[in-house]
Amino acid sequence: MVRERSQVGLQDCWNVEAIFPNIDVWQETFDQINPETRPRWPQIADLKGQLNEPTLVEAVLRLYFANERMLSLLYTYAHLRFDEDISNDVHKTAFSKISSLLNDFTEETSWIEPELLSLKEKEFSLLLKDPELKEYRFYLEKMARLREHTLSSEQEELLAQSLKPLQAAQKAFGAINDADFKFESAVDGKGQIRELTHGSYGVFIRSHDRPLRASAFKNLHGKYLAYENTLCELINGQVQSHVFQAKAKKYPSSLHAALYPKNIDTSVYHALIKAVTEEIDALHSYIQLRQKIMKVDTLHLHDMYVPLTGDIDIKIPYNEAEELIIESVAPLGSEYQNLLKEGLKNERWVDRYENLNKRSGAYSSGSFDTMPYILMNYKEQIKDLFTLAHEAGHSMHSLLTHKHQPYQYGNYPIFLAEVASTFNEELLMHLMLERARTNEERIYLINQKIEDIRGTLFRQTMFAEFELMIHDFAEKDIPLTPKLLKEEYRNLNIKYFGPKVCISKEAEAEWARIPHFYYNFYVYQYATGISAALALADRVLNKDKQACQSYLNFLKSGSSRYPLETLKIAGIDMTTPDPVKQAIGKFRFLVKELEKCF
């Protein structure tokens, strides 16, 4: 049975007390920065209408970032506590309060950017050249680029006020998905009842017990199918919020609105889908090989994750997983390796195991003034080992960025986020393959790497295509209905998996359980990220010292440049299809290697 949070040992919990000793201290700090009078940030408000000289611009930016920094610290503690047990009313209230205060901060400071951009271009150019604003120069350059998409001060304030209600769909999905949904138990091949949760589903779907896999798949997705109308309205609400914000900011589409601020052309998104579509036969070849190895007449989606050898069942206890991951990053040098070792072993970055009402999945989080925190639901499966390596990659990216950048550039852009995480997975796979003692282990690991690329490059591109599709429908006033979403999702499954794979009615509803569809064009970055990471890892593993240093410099860059420029520091040009094509080339090579093993 899944444990209550109170039953989890301290050594298995992340060290949130390093931020605030307890919720009472958090509350005291919150109260100190949350006066009842308005404006809540009078020092910032007093500068309104005066941003016409460098000294005052420097003052408002310094105040803005100092307050945002404290709010971020408060938010980090509250959201981590909330995710430990989303049914805990105390932590839920704290999370709601800080989220609300962050919205207030966005509203009260929404005038800064419009006021600065109301300056004539010549006046703004002088600000960029002023030595007093040197540390904010790139920040201001990015702001200037958004001039045509910035509204008046009053309109920006109104738009900021809309953010809170526009989050309702995403929050409602999180509540129903992580807390309210209880799944019908799965039944294994011996007729035994198995408790089905988000965490156990990941184990069951990889089991060699085919009836168990089928039962888990049907019962989990069947729950979403039963609520298809509600879930359709929630995803529609989220998409409509993206459409509204894009129109309000005068972007031609939601996709433009999501990519333009990062200086990423929409052609990068479309080129990814095009490159994968042109090479989709690589995935079909693997599907056919999987069916042949499994010796099944019809391949179902619940057959896609089971290891292709029944002679090995790798179980990796959590402490062993830490050791493997720490050893695997040795090619990046002792400084990187020791920082990671200290975080995992002594600083308690990781919340390790599933507990009742804990948020599902895994992530790396934190703020500029905290350690990076990792949420896991570790089940001793090899996929959990690689998930931990993945999140450790994110955490080290954050740590190095915070060490080498000032606060205003201390977060890396989302476009770059999946590079470091996938890079670490590749280093771990290299170590595991070196240590493979039998042909069965080699099969297992090669298949795992194939599945990584399938899940991160092909699957996420499929998700990206679906996400683009539903936004296009909304922008063309085509109603999003359960029937339409199921049909389109079925068509995409057929395109990516091939016409011979069975797509059940439950599989048609998978769109309803994917939280990333609420993140506003996030998933394509998994695919671009793995493409860049595979190329970078190959260079580092070939003991190219310059490539290693370039990669470390990439990790330290934060948001001090536009993301495509930052990748070029590491030697990757994502404006061309080459990295994606190279990644698919590696996928083809691995499929051939797998076939040789049988």
The CATH number of residue 162's host domain is 1.20.140.70
Interval 83-112 mean pLDDT: 95
Confidence label for 458 from pLDDT (cuts 50, 70 and 90): very high
pLDDT score of 371 more than 90:
yes
**What is the gyration radius of the CA atoms in the chain, in angstroms?**
24
Q: Read off the tokens for 210.
A: 């085919």
Residue among 391, 418, 451, 510 flagged as catalytic: 391
Interval 153-168: pLDDT, tens: 889 889 988 988 999 9
Number of H helices, E strands in the chain: 27, 5
Residue 230 lies in a domain: no
Closest by CA position to 531, among listed 458, 480, 595: 458
Interval 162-190 mean pLDDT: 94
| Angle 536-537-539 from CA coordinates, rounded to 5° | 70
Largest CA distance in the chain: 76
Q: For residue 160, what are the domain limits?
A: 7-166
Residue 502: helix, strand or coil by DSSP?
strand
Model pLDDT, residue 207:
93
pLDDT score of 314 more than 90:
no
pLDDT score of 477 more than 70:
yes
Question: What stretches of 227-357 show up as alpha helix (H) in DSSP?
Answer: 228-248, 254-259, 266-278, 281-294, 318-328, 334-345
Residue 428 lies in a domain: no
Give the Cα separation of 422 and 386 in Å (integer): 9
Q: Is the omega angle on the peptide bond into residue 331 within 30 degrees of 0, that is, cis?
A: no
Question: What stretches of 313-365 show up as alpha helix (H) in DSSP?
Answer: 318-328, 334-345
Residue 133 lies in a domain: yes
**What is the number of structural domains in the chain?**
1
Q: Read off the tokens for 101.
A: 């205060």
Residue 40 lies in a domain: yes
Which amino acid is present at 44?
I
Interval 441-457: pLDDT, tens: 899 899 989 999 999 99
Residue 123: helix, strand or coil by DSSP?
helix
Residue 151 lies in a domain: yes
pLDDT score of 311 more than 70:
no
391 is annotated as an active-site residue: yes
Residue 18 lies in a domain: yes
- Share of residues in the chain with pLDDT > 90 (%): 90
> How many CB atoms lie under 10 A from the CB of residue 21?
10
- Share of residues in the chain with pLDDT > 70 (%): 100
Residue 308 lies in a domain: no
Q: What is the DSSP letter of 300?
A: B
Burial 476-499 (b: 16+ CB within 10 A, else e): eeeebebeebbebbbebbeebbbe
Model pLDDT, residue 15:
98
Residue 119 lies in a domain: yes
Q: What end-to-end distance do the CA atoms of the chain give, in Å?
A: 39
Give the Cα separation of 265 and 82 in Å (integer): 36
Interval 292-319 mean pLDDT: 90
Closest by CA position to 579, among listed 457, 491, 495, 460: 457
Confidence label for 383 from pLDDT (cuts 50, 70 and 90): confident
